[in-house]
Structure formats: C-alpha cells, structure tokens
C-alpha cells in the first residue's frame, strides 16, 4: 500500500469501521459487518496503535507498506513495547488493536486481489501470554534496575546465560542481540571515548537487522572469544525462554524481585548516565549519548530508565 503511515491507517479504517453496525451483525460470521468496529472512540484508539506500530516498522525494519506486515513483526513490536514496562491493560490494548489490524488487512486484501494475502497475527496471543507468565507487565510503573546485578548473574546456573547477562549489563544490549552472536561480530578492542578504558567491541544485530556496537569489559570480551575457540564453533546461541527462566530462578533463590533481562539493560542505562556525568558531560548530553548507545534516537527515552 502506498502512502504515509496516516494515509494507510485511514484506508484501513474505512475498511473496518461501521458506525451504525449492530452488535448482532458484528458477531454473525455470515453478515458483512462481522468483526467490524462500530465505536468511534474504539476506532480512534485502535488507529493510534496502528500509527505507532507502522512508525516502529518504518524506523526499525525499514518497512513502509502495511501489506507486508508479518507475524514476526507483530511479535517483535510487542517485545519492543515490553521494554518500557507497560501496564497490563496497555499491552492488552495493543494486542487487541493488532487483532483488529489483522481483520482490516484481510478485508483490504480480499477486496483488492483475486488471490488475497492471508494475514495471521495469532502470535500476539502467544507472546502476550508469555509476557504475563514472565511478569513483564505491571498494574503500575516501577523501577526495574537491579541494585546488585552481579550477585544475580553469579548465581545463575548456565555459564552461557551468565555471559549474555554480562553483555547486557555492560553494553546495554537488547535481549535479541545476545541470544545469537556470530564470531564475525567480534570487532576487537578500542578505547572508550568517555572513560578512556579499553573495551571489547561486539557488533550486535537486533530485530529488523538493526546493527550497532556494544562495548563490554576486556574480561567479558575474552570470555566470549574463548567460548568460540574452546568449542571450535562460530556461533554463540541461547534460548530466550531458558535464559529468562535462569534469571527468574536466580532472583527467587536470592529473594530479589526479578525484572527479567530488561533489568540488566535498565541498570546499564543508569550506570552509563552517571559515568558520562562523572566525566563532566551535562545531564542532557548524557541522556542523548546513552540513548544512542541503546539504539534509541531521542534523549527523552533514556529518562524512562532513570525514573
């Protein structure tokens, strides 16, 4: 579909919105108004989510055509939103809006093509259930920084999980960047321009192929190097579910509230802002610099981690 984000969502709104549709028709699979939206307020809410979703896809996936949305994009978006620790109600609203987007796209495709594209976004339900099970949403905001992250890491059972956690803690990497690291992503050592300390550089690849360097301690970098050499392989891989479960169990044993993998990223943000300020950067400069290091763009996003 051609056009801006807002033009595309306007077209999809026309497909699914029926202001006068009766409830009995909206729940009747044989009626033309089946599954349409009849509330103007609901439609406005859903469209706002669609706009946000499409803008996310444009920024992180370079995808500008809503007809190309797949289940993979839906899953990635939900996990991306979880990083900001939304309320249970908000993440459920997003999931519901994406369900309506699925219906709108299927209707649009059926009207436009002889062989319509079939959209299936049921992954949103599985992802939402996983998010709830891991307690990654809350009924209100709370800080997700680990006060003593190293004790949690040292208490984890799997050495690979410990290594992934250290990369997140020291480099601020998202979880998808540490669940798969290839040998060619190791970039050697360079000086940290802030502290002038030697850091190991890992080129991380996140959802949508978004690349960026994270900087870790020499010892952590060498540990990753040794993993490749000792096992004679060129890929470091861990399973997300097992990794988060190891963190959860470690926190449970230590009687520490678990913030899953995001806790390490939050802790990195706070530590890094303090480090910039220690080396005489202003608060605003520190916010923007850390935002870039965490693969964001706006300085204001970093403040979210500092509340």
Instruction: Quote the CA–CA distance of 218 and 199 in Å, as a whole number.
Output: 6
Residues 198 and 218: beta-carbon distance below 8 Å: yes
Pull the structure tokens for residue 14.
């026309």
One digit per residue, the tens of pLDDT, for the chain of length 307 reads: 889 999 999 999 999 998 888 888 888 888 888 888 888 888 999 999 999 999 989 887 889 999 999 998 998 888 888 766 677 788 889 999 999 999 999 999 999 999 999 999 999 988 888 777 655 655 444 567 888 999 999 999 999 999 999 999 999 888 888 988 999 999 999 998 888 899 999 998 765 556 788 999 999 999 999 999 999 999 999 988 889 899 999 999 999 988 888 889 889 988 888 888 888 888 788 878 777 777 765 555 555 555 5
CATH of 149-304, one of 1.20.1250.20, 1.10.443.10, 1.10.3720.10, 3.30.565.10: 1.10.443.10
The domain defined by 5-133 folds into DNA polymerase; domain 1 (1.10.150)
Among 113, 117, 1, 12, which Cα is nearest to 65's? 1
The overall pTM is greater than 0.75: no
pLDDT of residue 296: 65
Q: Is 149 helix (H, G, I), strand (E, B) or coil?
A: helix
- Could you tell me the residue ranges of all domains in the chain? 5-133, 149-304
Residues 235 and 120: beta-carbon distance below 8 Å: no
- Spell out the residues 6+ positions from residue 119 whose beta carbon is closer than 8 angstroms to its own: 69, 102, 105, 106, 109
- Spell out the residues 6+ positions from residue 3 whose beta carbon is closer than 8 angstroms to its own: 11
């Amino acid at each position: 579909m051609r056009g801006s984000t807002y033009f595309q969502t306007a077209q999809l709104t026309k497909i699914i919105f029926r202001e006068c549709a009766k409830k009995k028709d909206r729940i009747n699979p044989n009626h033309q108004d089946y599954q349409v939206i009849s509330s103007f307020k609901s439609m406005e809410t859903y469209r706002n989510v669609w706009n946000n979703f499409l803008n996310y896809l444009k920024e992180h996936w370079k995808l500008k055509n809503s007809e190309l949305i797949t289940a993979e994009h839906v899953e990635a978006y939900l996990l991306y939103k979880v990083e900001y620790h939304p309320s249970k109600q908000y993440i459920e609203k997003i999931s519901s809006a994406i369900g309506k987007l699925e219906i709108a796209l299927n209707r649009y495709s059926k009207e436009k093509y002889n062989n319509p594209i079939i959209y299936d976004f049921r992954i949103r339900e599985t992802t939402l259930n996983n998010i709830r099970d891991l307690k990654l949403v809350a009924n209100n905001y709370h800080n997700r920084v680990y006060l003593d992250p190293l004790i949690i890491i040292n208490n984890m059972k799997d050495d690979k999980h410990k290594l992934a956690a250290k990369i997140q803690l020291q480099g601020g990497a998202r979880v998808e960047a540490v669940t798969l690291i290839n040998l060619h992503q190791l970039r050697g050592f360079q000086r940290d321009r802030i502290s002038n300390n030697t850091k190991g550089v890992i080129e991380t690849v996140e959802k949508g192929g978004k690349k960026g360097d994270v900087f870790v301690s020499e010892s952590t970098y060498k540990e990753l190097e040794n993993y490749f050499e000792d096992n004679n392989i060129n890929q470091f891989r861990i399973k997300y579910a097992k990794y988060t479960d190891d963190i959860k169990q470690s926190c449970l044993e230590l009687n520490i509230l678990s913030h899953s993998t995001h806790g390490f990223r939050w802790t990195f943000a706070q530590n890094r802002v303090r480090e910039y300020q220690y080396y005489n950067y202003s608060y605003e400069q520190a916010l923007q610099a850390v935002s870039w290091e965490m693969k964001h763009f706006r300085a204001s996003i970093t403040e979210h981690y500092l509340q």
